[in-house]
Structure 1
Amino acid sequence: MSMVKNYGFGAVLLSSTVFLVACNDSDNNRAASSAESSSVAAPVQLTLRVMETSDLHANVMNYNYYQNRPDDSVGLVKTATLIQQAHDAVDNSVLVDNGDLIQGSPLGDYFAKVSGLSTGVIHPIFKAMNQLDYDVANIGNHEFNYGLSFLDEAIDDANFPYISSNVFIDDGDNNADNDEPYFLPYLLQEKTVIDQAGASHTLRIGYLGFVPPQIMQWDQANLTGKVIAKDMVAMAQRYVPELQAQGADIIIAIAHSGLVTATAKGLDENASYYLAGVDGIDAIMFGHAHRNFPGDAGYEGLEAVDNIKGTIRGVAAVMPGYWGKYLGYIDLSLEYAAPTGWRVKDSQSVLLPISSTNEDRSITSLVDSHPGIVEAVADDHTIVADWVSQPFAKITAPINSFFALVQDDPSIQIVTDAQKWYVENIVKGTDYDGLPILSVGAPFRAGRGGPDDYTNLAAGDVAYGNVADLYIYPNTLKVLMLSGAQVKEWLEMSAGQFNALTIGGVDQPLINEDFPSYNFDVIDGVTYQLDLSVPPKYSVAGELANADSQRIKNLHYQGQPVADEQMFLVASNNYRASGGGNFPGITADKIVIDAPDENRQAVADYLVVKTQQNPESGFDPSADKNWRFVALPGTSALFWGSAGDAARSFAASNAAIEYVSQNDEGFGVYRINFDD
């Protein structure tokens, strides 16, 4: 049984029974701990394996619901087997989850938005997790996406306790001294452990749990007036001494929070580095960032971060990616020495993958599925697999990517519109409210995977499975603050997709085949033209190639020229915002909103909202034609595209494009005229 609304109590877990203990009533616990510890002969050493899952996002089965096929690279059903193996390999282990469980896949959407939860109905993520011996779980930011009532009903069926140390009931009195926790703020658990000599001992483990305070921004509609979120580090500094006073031998922080080493500002979203500086925390199980620690190259060279051993400022830490792709664990080497008690002598953090990727990009499973989980969620899985094929939105015009490389395109437009809509909602009431918002998209399916690799959705019903056609990558949405000059340079880099054309030249090659199509970014919210009579300013690698070249012409916002110093919020994805593609000046330090949602989820949610506005007819996803080429009289060029009937028919309706032939690789060869 999980507990919520604990109103200022801690908890001790003894022999699988939970007892509430007032946080300031610690004398008896401290005396018991001292009496027991005094009987332990030094030196005593043992290893405690602390295992973690995080950011599962309702990925229970090894299945891609968007594509309606098995996917052995994801799923708790696979991670569970690693958990069992890691548990059986040692004498002492505990298992924690770090949140973001109930949202993030069509399975999560179905139970939140379609079937709902009622008393007696168990969410499939907990049907699965209840097959395993979780000791405790922390609340992630996405747990709040569907409101507190849904969250309370969902976690009520977990057979392990939930904690959150920095979420409090909003009592409306502006007096922080009397704020009461919404969840259990911490857990003190007694665990029987075996030392290296085979003797047993009782180890008191304290757990803290943290969620980004930004939940108050991301889910303000669900949380305003109901709860408040406080600074993670401040709450750690408050509760660590309480756990120590109650007899905690070691303290583990379960932080749904990433790792950055910049100077703390307070109420930080990614606070794991700062939590490592709180005296008394012995290990940090972190997440939220959908990255791997140790091992992710992005953590190389960070001050006081050991990316091999897995420590942050000397404190053991691990982050196991997302979607169940990895099990993370820390082997804590503990030593008892009187009179100070137990201490962490050494540690090693480990990530175990559930699959490997072959040279041809196929997936090889490294573990079998957990049979108990397969059986527990079989009916739910079947229902959702069927549901994703059913329509959930409606469009009045086709969405295709046949000519996304040469003209404004509906497959990009739907993404940029969805991102803009998302950002408009999350900035309401913040310091960013009122700033102009731009949105960036790229042609993900434009023949890169072969002559059939194009999006082609007919007008009419749209199913969840179609969303993967519109956004194929599991990126998360990020928002940068950029000047007009920086926006222009972004577009100059993007314009490198095209070869320079000779005015009056006929059938010149248009596309630079060395330029990845997913780096051809379109920026919506501004209008502009591309002049291909001049060479690209930047190389494919993002290096300045022709400093005086200016391909981007007539860059306007709301009909007025964009000034170099004008500031914009620019919605993109984690790949581009963190420097992917080597776009000039586009780096992670420009991110001002590190949104928690996938771009793909934003597209799905946007489709629902737009369809609801016109449920009978649906909505028009056509491109707004915010960019075009500068006219080059007498000039034409050739490019490759789909040779299919749909593409050729679409070309026939466009006066500037004509089908020429089909090449040996199966692509259609098209001519584009630059006369107008």
Structure 2
Amino acid sequence: MVHSYLKKSAMLLSLAAAVMVAEEVRADQAADSQAVAGQEATSVTVAQESSASPEALLQVSETPVQEQSPEVTVLAEPVQEEAVKPPVEGQRVDMRILATTDLHTNLVNYDYYQDMQVETLGLAKTAVLMEEALAENSNVVIVDSGDTIQGTPLGTYKAVVDPVKEGEEHPMFAAFKELNYDGAALGNHEFNYGLDYLRRIVASSKVPLLNANVLDAQTKEHLFTPYVIVPKAFKDSEGQLVTVNVGLTGIVPPQIMNWDRAHLEGKVIALDAVQAVTELVPQMRKAGADVIVVMSHSGIGDDTYLVGEENIGYQLAGIPGVDAVATGHSHANFPSGTGNGFYAKIKGVDDVNGKINGIPVTMAGKYGDHLGIMDLKLHYTKGAWQVEESGTVLRKIDTKSTKADERILNLAKEVHEATIRYVRQEVGQTPTPIHSYFSLVQDDPSVQIVNQAQMWYAKQVLEGTPDGDLPLLSAAAPFKAGARNDPNAYTDMKAGPLAIKNVADLYVFDNTVALLKITGAQLKEWLEMSAGQFNQVDPTKTESQNIINTSFRTYNFDVIDGVTYELDITQPNKYSVGAELVNPTANRVRNLRYQGQEVADDQLFMVVTNNYRASGPFPGVKDAQENRLLNLQNRQALIDYIIAEKTIDARPNQNWTFADTINGLDLRFLTSLKGQEHLASNPAISFVGISEALEGFGEYRYHYSPVLQPEQPVQPGQPAQSEQPAQPEVTPLTPAKPAKVETVKGPQVLSYQSAQTFQKVASSQPQVKEQAAAGQLPKTGSEQSLWMSFGLVLLGLLPKALVKGKQEQE
């Protein structure tokens, strides 16, 4: 006890010293605002259900913050009484909340898919904005709204190749600690790697990771810490330090029970997020919270509320007692500051000042490209802090500058360089280019190769089982097709070597393989839903018509290989983007055939897809006779396929096309200007001009013509048709062999004995090891300095529907 007393005294004296020099150095201003939350020593806990006064609830505990039971609120060490006074009537404080969201392991400014430094993303870039905001006002609370540990090869590396061990801090949360974050919410992608991995991450994080609406299925208790109350030492309008107790909580969409069913079914319960927060707020106030901030991994949605819906940021901002909401999940920006943003038309939304229902709200984009700043003017009156005024701004990182936070670059150096070595491992060859510029208007190589790999894997899984004799199909969608109006969000690979970075670029999501048994009638409805990618066109119109429905997410545009079919887009969509039947008599899918014969309604098929589709609301899918989830990532199946085949011919087989009802029409679509480089090999496409609406995009025309037979596939071992810069030498890799499985009715999780193909770390190879010892990284297609090699991380490009009721990957 004496030791503990001395330890506390030393810390308190150190804090007092920091306060005394706060006026002289800006860095010390930051210390003033973060000193309370930054203490790592003794914690103070508050039992949620106690009816005692906040003062009576304070009790000393030696338990570290993240080892607390989920049913306790964790507070930081109180500051020295002489340094920080309790609030008095009339006192005023300007409080600032800094918010990030959907970082998706973009720790540094580096695109691992393109293997190059970029300046458009990364927490190390966002941290520069944080320092600037802190210099303007040191009274800050820093929060994040989730989707942090998945999304780039760095996330995959720390989850699959070199998994975070017990007691090891995940690099993303180590960065949060370095930047003095006060708390972070769990997003839906935090659950992608299973509960055991997530528990390990949460236990080692020195920043509270919070969730209020996920319960243990057996005990019905919160699975994670539902909220924390952080006493912040803020300066008032007169420069005096005063304590403001900031309550933080977080939520995740209950749809995680569908998206990660294989990991969560029978283990957890996901509550409606609005109801969970509504119930929690009075408890937080009773425990002493002066200001309550909700970190919402949920889109803003709209002013209509349905219990259990996905995007409810609007409703959270209307809960009594909530003072600010930091949203995420949709990868959108709020506020626009102009009044012309996506959400501006919704009643109660102030898109200029960043308020919803009078409460400050922000959504800070994705991958660290923006920082949300919410300013609250607090007035202590009638014994409580009240928010008198508030407003929100969104700041974008400087994409023209190479400036990044050195603390984050240094912290990320080891894992960043290991990730680069990982993604540069060669797995095979492609004799032809693979790109996705035209993937929304014709059969496409970036989708073809995924379907080929899934079919290859599923055949081995089903061999010898009762379902092994059924027709086997494969469903895949274009994941990188210009989502979020990003002209760089496309796959573009030259002919030549294929490395893991290329595979990650082809399959950006950490999905797992799923097998479905469906009928021919269900197959047709599945394709009718996918056909929602296209606008209805008028066959009598001579003017140009836009062919792409931009409200339909491209990752929902499934191309199903193994059958042939046509899409008649002069017909209306049968289903809405939310999978609701809107035109019962519509019939876009025509001439659906298997091996040249018309598909019968009662004909049975096995379809290999991913867990996201298998768990979702797609017509035809949701009524599958059998639904099996396999414990293998689709990306790993793709890697194993390329390794086994060595040379991959991904030229599309033209199994789908538009019906001849569009013959002669002037049909237009937008894609990246870089698509012009591939026009010679795509005769159905012509370039019209540069888009005036979207920077980096061009307008193209689609010309209908009867489907041409694809060229004969290039045989394995045939030399590539174009040159590719030399790649680092790597040890050849061996694909894993799938385990045989038995047919099982209903949703079933099946095991897969992985050979851990990529446990061969590149640093064990002589060339790489020698370069590492010299402080260098293996060279890739372009010259890069060592500084660039630990620049900033990249994306995961996960789209996110802004339309209500639509299932989301983000």
State if a TM-score over 0.5 links the two structures. Answer: yes
Paired AA for residue 231 in structure 1: D
> Equivalent of 2:166, from 111, 119, 130?
119
Tell me, which stretches of 5 or more residues in structure 1 are unaligned?
1-11, 172-177, 357-363, 422-435, 475-480, 501-511, 539-549, 564-568, 573-588, 594-603, 636-640, 658-669
CA distance in 2, matches of 1:14, 1:286: 24
Distance 1:138 1:440, change over 3 A: closer
Distance 1:675 1:215, change over 3 A: closer
Structure 2 residue aligned with 1:504: none
Report the secondary structure of 1:316's partner residue.
strand
Q: Note the C-alpha offset of 1:50.
A: 0.8
Distance 1:27 1:15, change over 3 A: farther
CA deviation vs aligned residue, 1:405-428 (integer Å, no higher than 9, x gap): 99744334236779999xxxxxxx
Structure 1 residue aligned with 2:498: 462
CA distance in 2, matches of 1:419, 1:282: 48
Structure 2 residue aligned with 1:355: 398
Distance 1:276 1:409, change over 3 A: closer
Report the secondary structure of 2:233's partner residue.
strand
Distance 1:334 1:454, change over 3 A: closer
Tell me, which stretches of 5 or more residues in structure 2 are unaligned?
1-35, 59-80, 457-472, 511-523, 573-585, 602-606, 611-616, 622-631, 665-673, 685-702, 710-810
Paired AA for residue 564 in structure 2: T
Structure 2 residue aligned with 1:305: 349
Distance 1:274 1:454, change over 3 A: closer
Structure 2 residue aligned with 1:90: 137
Instruction: Confirm whether residue 324 of structure 1 aligns to residue 368 of structure 2.
Output: yes
Given that 1:127 and 1:377 are in contact with CA atoms closer than 8 Å, whether structure 2 keeps it comes out as no
Structure 2 residue aligned with 1:22: 47
CA distance in 2, matches of 1:495, 1:184: 55
CA deviation vs aligned residue, 1:115-160 (integer Å, no higher than 9, x gap): 1122354332233222211111211111111122222223333322
Report the secondary structure of 1:379's partner residue.
helix
> Equivalent of 2:109, from 55, 62, 66?
62
Q: Note the C-alpha offset of 1:225.
A: 2.9
CA deviation vs aligned residue, 1:463-497 (integer Å, no higher than 9, x gap): 233247658999xxxxxx9898787686676999x
CA deviation vs aligned residue, 1:429-482 (integer Å, no higher than 9, x gap): xxxxxxx9976549969xx999xx964445xx63233247658999xxxxxx98
1 or 2, which has the higher strand percentage? 1
Structure number with higher relative contact order (C-alpha < 8 Å, ≥ 6 residues apart)? 2
Given that 1:400 and 1:454 are in contact with CA atoms closer than 8 Å, whether structure 2 keeps it comes out as yes
Given that 1:399 and 1:411 are in contact with CA atoms closer than 8 Å, whether structure 2 keeps it comes out as no
Distance 1:515 1:240, change over 3 A: closer
Structure 2 residue aligned with 1:249: 290
CA distance in 1, matches of 2:487, 2:249: 46
Q: Where in structure 2 are the equivalents of 1:237-386 lying within 5 Å? A: 237-261=278-302, 263-295=304-336, 297-339=341-383, 341-356=384-399, 364-365=400-401, 368-386=403-421
CA distance in 2, matches of 1:336, 1:95: 22
CA distance in 1, matches of 2:532, 2:57: 66
Report the secondary structure of 2:654's partner residue.
coil
CA distance in 2, matches of 1:417, 1:494: 32
Given that 1:305 and 1:312 are in contact with CA atoms closer than 8 Å, whether structure 2 keeps it comes out as yes
Q: Note the C-alpha offset of 1:232.
A: 1.0
Distance 1:557 1:21, change over 3 A: farther
Given that 2:564 and 2:591 are in contact with CA atoms closer than 8 Å, whether structure 1 keeps it comes out as yes
CA distance in 2, matches of 1:449, 1:41: 54
Report the secondary structure of 1:297's partner residue.
coil
Structure 2 residue aligned with 1:606: 634
Paired AA for residue 312 in structure 1: I
Instruction: Confirm whether residue 627 of structure 1 aligns to residue 656 of structure 2.
Output: yes
CA distance in 1, matches of 2:500, 2:293: 39
Given that 1:163 and 1:183 are in contact with CA atoms closer than 8 Å, whether structure 2 keeps it comes out as yes
Q: Note the C-alpha offset of 1:304.
A: 0.8
Distance 1:380 1:442, change over 3 A: closer
Paired AA for residue 196 in structure 1: S
Report the secondary structure of 1:319's partner residue.
strand
Q: Would you say how many aligned residue pairs link Structure 1 and Structure 2? A: 541
CA distance in 2, matches of 1:517, 1:251: 40
Q: Alignment identity in percent? A: 31
Q: Where in structure 2 are the equivalents of 1:522-561 lying within 5 Å? A: 523-524=559-560, 527-529=564-566, 554-556=590-592, 560=598
Distance 1:675 1:232, change over 3 A: closer
Report the secondary structure of 1:301's partner residue.
coil
> Equivalent of 2:195, from 131, 139, 148?
148
CA distance in 1, matches of 2:158, 2:589: 49
Report the secondary structure of 2:645's partner residue.
coil
Distance 1:492 1:120, change over 3 A: closer
Q: Note the C-alpha offset of 1:265.
A: 2.1
Distance 1:483 1:517, change over 3 A: closer
Distance 1:403 1:673, change over 3 A: farther
Q: Note the C-alpha offset of 1:95.
A: 0.7
Instruction: Confirm whether residue 222 of structure 1 aligns to residue 263 of structure 2.
Output: yes
CA deviation vs aligned residue, 1:584-640 (integer Å, no higher than 9, x gap): xxxxx99999xxxxxxxxxx95342245479633687553432358899xx9xxxxx
Instruction: Confirm whether residue 74 of structure 1 aligns to residue 121 of structure 2.
Output: yes
Q: Note the C-alpha offset of 1:377.
A: 1.6
Distance 1:611 1:332, change over 3 A: same
Given that 1:98 and 1:286 are in contact with CA atoms closer than 8 Å, whether structure 2 keeps it comes out as yes
Structure 1 residue aligned with 2:242: 201
Distance 1:420 1:242, change over 3 A: farther
Given that 1:58 and 1:105 are in contact with CA atoms closer than 8 Å, whether structure 2 keeps it comes out as yes
CA distance in 2, matches of 1:616, 1:420: 14
CA distance in 2, matches of 1:96, 1:615: 42
Given that 2:507 and 2:635 are in contact with CA atoms closer than 8 Å, whether structure 1 keeps it comes out as no
RMSD: 5.2
Q: Note the C-alpha offset of 1:291.
A: 0.8
Given that 1:455 and 1:470 are in contact with CA atoms closer than 8 Å, whether structure 2 keeps it comes out as no
Q: Note the C-alpha offset of 1:328.
A: 0.9
CA distance in 1, matches of 2:675, 2:212: 54
Q: Note the C-alpha offset of 1:537.
A: 9.5
Given that 1:304 and 1:313 are in contact with CA atoms closer than 8 Å, whether structure 2 keeps it comes out as yes
> Equivalent of 2:225, from 184, 187, 191?
184
Paired AA for residue 421 in structure 2: D
Distance 1:397 1:190, change over 3 A: same
Instruction: Confirm whether residue 132 of structure 1 aligns to residue 161 of structure 2.
Output: no
Distance 1:629 1:347, change over 3 A: closer
Given that 2:567 and 2:657 are in contact with CA atoms closer than 8 Å, whether structure 1 keeps it comes out as yes
> Equivalent of 1:164, from 211, 221, 230?
211
> Equivalent of 2:645, from 617, 620, 623?
617
Q: Note the C-alpha offset of 1:21.
A: 2.2
CA deviation vs aligned residue, 1:348-406 (integer Å, no higher than 9, x gap): 111111124xxxxxxx12x7211111112212211211221113x55788564599699
Given that 1:186 and 1:209 are in contact with CA atoms closer than 8 Å, whether structure 2 keeps it comes out as yes
Q: Note the C-alpha offset of 1:219.
A: 1.3
Distance 1:591 1:209, change over 3 A: farther
CA distance in 2, matches of 1:323, 1:403: 23
CA distance in 1, matches of 2:405, 2:224: 31
Report the secondary structure of 1:298's partner residue.
coil
CA distance in 2, matches of 1:217, 1:351: 32
Instruction: Confirm whether residue 46 of structure 1 aligns to residue 68 of structure 2.
Output: no
Paired AA for residue 328 in structure 1: G
Q: Bigger CA drift: 518-527 or 244-253?
A: 518-527
Q: Where in structure 2 are the equivalents of 1:426-465 lying within 5 Å? A: 441=478, 455-458=493-496, 462-465=498-501
